[in-house]
Structure 1
Amino acid sequence: MRRNGKISPYVKALWELGIEETDLEDIREILRENPKLKKVLEDPRVSRQDKSRVVDRVFPEAYKGLLQTLVKYETVALLDDMKTGLQAEKDKRERRITIRLSYVTPPSVQEKDQMEILLKQKFAASEVRWLEEEKPELLGGFLLQVNGWEYDYSTRGRWLELKRGLIRR
């Protein structure tokens, strides 16, 4: 994806400047509350000088420098991706992983604790964040996703694996 190439230098700069995801969220909230403002800042037909004046009038001092840079390089539309990238960078540096757990029946506390221990070891993590979702379409079992790695121990996943194996024969 091209956007990741554009985001990477911003994420690095944001990290080095000590800008938090909450700062980006505040900016995003201002833009969400004022859709016309967002359109103006993202519109290539509006001159940089006009956008710069809008930023100076509307935004708190703490955010002006960042926004002026985004206006200058016409990357205001990347704010959402920058927030996600900044969170990912923070998680990486703090050795935090997010475990996405999809299930039909929620696992017991003991099962979840065992999963957490194993995944902390596998990914050398010091902290875990759980995102859980009930998914009846799995038919049974569970699906774990962490850092691009997937472990499918669902009935549906097993059925699809069996089906693929039979088709190959």
Structure 2
Amino acid sequence: MSELARRYALALYSVCPDEQTLEQTAHVLMDDTTLWQTLCSPAIQGQEKARVLARLPVLDGHGLLLNFYRLLAEKGRMTLLPEILEAFNEEVLRQKGMARCRLSCVRAPDAAELDKLRRALCRLHHKQDVIFEIRTDPSLLGGFTLEIEGVRYDKSVRGALSGLGRQLEERRMA
């Protein structure tokens, strides 16, 4: 996620922490292919995009979000909206003392393993809870990798073999 998207998300969160309304309105914009292409097109002037946004019923009564979307459209940054949503959701979790963890493993862990991992990550990262996004990846050969708050842990067989290969290469070069 880009630093610019993160800054937009933090600014939006500081004035409008309503994650549900943001999700709803953003998905209306992104799910309509024609509308989304229009809003993202560099060939269409920002003022025209702002007029299109002002006519959308989903934004009625949501003046702050309408202004936010207008700003993105006028600055030619509407394509950042998916990243902004992700950063906004991360900030919501952070404010609740939570974090998102992307876990890749050969097989999905059972509830007891997941709970043990959750407790360890909460302790290490000083969080109240961790939300897992689990993905299976047979190329890991065994073990797992996980990413949480910009930190990557690699406890996979593939990672261990890569590390061993690097060590052997370093010894050979010495």
**Residue in 1 that maps onto 2:30:** 32
**Residue in 2 that maps onto 1:152:** 154
Structure 1, gaps ≥5 residues long: none
**Residue in 2 that maps onto 1:84:** 86
String of CA shifts for 1:107-147, please: whole Å, max 9, x gaps.
34333322222211110000110111222111122223222
- Alpha-carbon shift at residue 86 of structure 1 (Å): 0.6
Query: 8 Å contact 1:24–1:79 — kept in the other structure?
Result: no
- Alpha-carbon shift at residue 19 of structure 1 (Å): 4.0
CA distance in structure 2 between the aligned counterparts of 1:112 and 1:52, rounded to whole angstroms: 46
CA distance in structure 2 between the aligned counterparts of 1:25 and 1:163, rounded to whole angstroms: 45
**Residue in 2 that maps onto 1:75:** 77
CA distance in structure 2 between the aligned counterparts of 1:111 and 1:33, rounded to whole angstroms: 37
**Residue in 2 that maps onto 1:99:** 101
Partner of 1:16: helix, strand, or coil?
helix
CA distance in structure 1 between the aligned counterparts of 2:163 and 2:154, rounded to whole angstroms: 10
**Residue in 2 that maps onto 1:126:** 128
Residue identity (%): 28
Give the count of matched residue pairs.
Answer: 167
Q: For 1:48, which of 39, 46, 49 is the aligned residue?
A: 46
Moved more, 17-26 or 132-141: 17-26
Distance 1:28 1:155, change over 3 A: same
Q: For 1:58, which of 52, 56, 59 is the aligned residue?
A: 56
Partner of 1:153: helix, strand, or coil?
strand
Structure 2, gaps ≥5 residues long: none
- Alpha-carbon shift at residue 82 of structure 1 (Å): 0.9
Q: For 1:10, which of 8, 11, 23 is the aligned residue?
A: 8
CA distance in structure 1 between the aligned counterparts of 2:139 and 2:125, rounded to whole angstroms: 28
Query: 8 Å contact 2:98–2:129 — kept in the other structure?
Result: yes
Distance 1:139 1:11, change over 3 A: same
TM-score by length of 1: 0.83
| Root mean square deviation, CA, Å | 2.2
**Residue in 1 that maps onto 2:166:** 164
Query: 8 Å contact 2:100–2:148 — kept in the other structure?
Result: yes
Partner of 1:74: helix, strand, or coil?
coil
CA distance in structure 2 between the aligned counterparts of 1:147 and 1:156, rounded to whole angstroms: 23
